[in-house]
Amino acid sequence: MTSFKKPLIAIASAVVLATTTFIALPANAAVTTTLTIATTAATGGTTEATAIALPVPADNSVDAADALDFALAGITAGETVTVVATDATLIKAGTTGTVTATTGESALSIPTGTGNTAAFKVYTKTTKTGKVVVTVGTAIPVTYYVKGTAGALNTITVSAPTAALGTTAKVTVSGADVFGNVVNAAAIALQVISSKATTPYTLTTGVTGTATQDIASLSVDTYDLVATATVATAVTGLTTPVGFVKGQFKVVDLAALVTTKDAELAVANAKVSVAEAKYAALVKRFNALAKQYNKKVSKKSQVKLVN
């Protein structure tokens, strides 16, 4: 009997040898990445939960404190570092001139040539969690996370819908920084003005950037809304601050409106009834005359009666 034991062992050995031959250390395994903010080491950033906080450049100047510096070392000479940012902005190392909130790109390609280092900066204008994906050559990409902190209050808004008599009107007041990120609306003062009185309100809610103020005990009237706040100083190149806005809402008596509309409808129906009666009388008169006429003419010349 022929034995298959030795051939099987040989095949298994060959497979193991071949598999071992193709296992290799990943390219650029020795690359190290150092993160700093204004020369101070930054920790975390490898998960969304540990995203590195960065202040948004609300003064339209990306200073050292606003940017996360990436310094890569140990790169194999000749490799290219590619960087792609989402909800964040990249700045090339060595960028000269004034760096503002419009400076930068969403993707970079950094060739190392004969060197083994690469560097770039990251800043953000949003309080969303930003993502920075770094790939060295053909190595597995590494992702870092940053999250902006809102700047000073720059613009405010106020609005309210029409309210029915006997209900509570809801006035919404919002605040945002120069890039539209929500800012605590509790810093905004609200006044509600009618023909009868002016009532100031202190907004205690607003950590999410929006405060809703309930206005009760309203009478039928038109109410003016005035929202004021101390806002940031104007910055060249960015949105003009708005610290004073006006709005308006009305309180209407729906029951009275229904009564008025019912009365108007009754009058309209009465007019229709009169018109219908006149029309019926005309039809009756026409048909009577038509019958008299038809008796005197041939069938071909007769007129049709109105139903």
Over the stretch 169-191, which tens digit does the pLDDT of each residue have? Answer: 999 999 999 999 999 877 889 99
Q: How many CA atoms lie within 13 A of 235 on its CB side?
A: 20
Does one domain contain both 143 and 247? Answer: no
Does one domain contain both 125 and 37? Answer: yes
User: Does residue 1 form part of some domain?
Assistant: no
User: Does residue 134 form part of some domain?
Assistant: yes
Tokens representing residue 288 in the block = 């009577």
CATH of the domain at 89: 2.60.40.10
Q: What is the pTM of this model?
A: 0.72
Does one domain contain both 64 and 97? Answer: yes
* Distance between CA atoms of residues 177 and 109, nearest Å: 32
Residue-wise pLDDT tens digits, 33-74: 999 999 999 999 999 999 999 999 999 999 999 999 999 999
Contacts of 21 (CB under 8 A, 6+ apart): none
* Distance between CA atoms of residues 232 and 238, nearest Å: 11
Tokens representing residue 243 in the block = 């610290």
Tokens representing residue 196 in the block = 């009868």
- Which is it for strands 68-73 and 117-123: parallel, antiparallel or unpaired? antiparallel
pLDDT of residue 23: 34
Residue-wise pLDDT tens digits, 186-217: 788 999 998 888 999 877 655 567 888 899 88
Residue span of the structural domain in which 288 resides: 257-301
Does one domain contain both 32 and 65? Answer: yes
Q: What is the mean pLDDT of residues 156-167?
A: 91
Cβ atoms of 210 and 174 closer than 8 Å:
yes
